[in-house]
Amino acid sequence: MNRISTLTAKPVWMFALLYVGYMISYIDRSAIALALVHIGKDFHLGPAQLGVVLSSFYLSYALMQIPGGWLADRFGSKVVVSTAIILWSFFTILTGFAWSLTSLLVIRFVFGFGEGGYPPATLKGIAEAYPRAERPKMTGFMMSSNYVGSFLAPLIIAPLIIYAGWRQAFFLMGVAGILFAIVYLLTVRRTADDASQAIATTDRLDLKVDKKALLRMPLLWKILIVWFGLSLVNKGLDAWMPTYLLTARGLNLKTVGLLVPLPFITASIATASGGWLMTRCFDGREKYLMMGGCMLTGIFLYLMYHAQTIAGVIAFQSIVYFFKSFVFATAFALPAKVLGKRLIGTGTGMINFGGQMAGFVAPLVIGGLVSHYKSYDAAFLFLVAATAVATVVSMTIHAGKVAELQFANRSEA
């Protein structure tokens, strides 16, 4: 227990498995949004109650980000990754057994704890397998899996709900996750490397000091706030767009299942290229990439809601997701650039905590606004305001602080 383990499988194979695992996690969590109308009918729930259902997952998921990162830093990525996959798959299956609002809330809340350790452990895995210079690029590639999974989710889940029912859809996805966990456990090995031994021999009090210093780092808090603002848009649209298209725009589930994935194509492209773009074109000027992404996200979000046609809504949403995803990639690639290996799990967990707290807030607030005003007007204005706040905070990031942190941690590969 005194050594942190690292992966010995080839980096490409390890990366591919983590990528697929991230996709599965997003498919599993996206299923609830597609099943929301059916669940609402079965359990006789209104928009406000459904908003609580969506938010319950993200509260526990957010609370697990920093502990999950600490566990990955302490014990290595494989332990946390494999545990997370097994737990979230089990609770995906349990979601199909929910019999009331209370049972659904409890299951989704515990589901969030199960899945919450996966993101920081995945980025820790990249730090274990790749040198510092490659981490921003590989982090951007990894985070694009979120949108590939979100793209695939409606194409997989909507037909399952239509032809088998929403409960069976959760059963099948949970079983698929458990099978994947078996593949991961059998093909990825772990041993102690020089860096992990260095951490193991460091005094535990020193490690605690490092973690406390990390939590006092202004740069990370600014990135956290920026990503919180953009995640309100991300999580709000992910959670409510299917219902919005079904109820406010009058589409059927089959059509929604075909249209909802389209914006994730542009999002995956932007996220995959965001880390590379940051290091190649915005080195030392990262805040301008974040500022531009935040500002353009807000502009096209406003145009999206006021679009007169379904084609216009989807086209503008695709542009929103494109610019939002540059911020997403930068928010995770920047810590990978400036932090040493032993702090990456905790640091990225801290950033993702902000994003996932937005996942708790956004569905809840949107559900309440829609219930109160009987329309989506106030909900979309709320999301536009979030992009404005993120833009302002991104302006306060200083290139000098980024360079200073990178220099301070240069010796730790």
Question: Over 50: is that where the pLDDT of 193 sits?
Answer: no
**CB of 152 closer than 8 Å to CB of 255:** no
Q: Is the model more confident about 67 or about 89? A: 89
Q: Is the model more confident about 374 or about 5? A: 374
Instruction: Report the residue count for the chain.
Output: 413
Q: Do the domain assignments include residue 1? A: no
Mean pLDDT of 197-201: 41
**CB of 332 closer than 8 Å to CB of 139:** yes
Q: What is the pLDDT of residue 341?
A: 66
Question: Over 80: is that where the pLDDT of 331 sits?
Answer: yes
- The structure tokens 């216009």 sit at 312
Q: Is the model more confident about 107 or about 406? A: 107
Beta-carbon contacts of residue 247 (< 8 Å; ≥ 6 apart):
37
List, for residues 17-61, the tens digit of each pLDDT value: 999 999 999 888 878 888 888 888 889 888 888 888 888 888 888
Domain hosting residue 333, numbered range: 6-408
Q: What is the pLDDT of residue 407?
A: 40
Amino acid at 95: T
Q: Do the domain assignments include residue 249? A: yes
Question: What is the percentage of the chain residues whose pLDDT exceeds 90?
Answer: 28
pLDDT band of 2, cuts 50, 70, 90: very low
Q: Do the domain assignments include residue 246? A: yes
Task: Give exposure, 87-123, as e/b (b: 16+ Cβ within 10 Å).
Answer: bbbbbbbbbbebeebeebbebbbbbbbbbbbbbbbbb
What global pTM score does this model have?
Answer: 0.71
Taking the C-alpha atoms of residue 23 and residue 28, their distance in angstroms, rounded to an integer, is 9
Q: What is the pLDDT of residue 262?
A: 86
N-term to C-term CA, the chain? 23
Q: Do the domain assignments include residue 413? A: no
Q: What is the pLDDT of residue 144?
A: 84
Q: Is the model more confident about 385 or about 412? A: 385
Question: What is the percentage of the chain residues whose pLDDT exceeds 70?
Answer: 88
Total domains in the chain come to 1
CATH value at residue 220: 1.20.1250.20
- Please name every residue paired with 7 in a beta bridge, in sequence order, or none if there are none: 190
Task: Tell me the average pLDDT of the chain.
Answer: 82
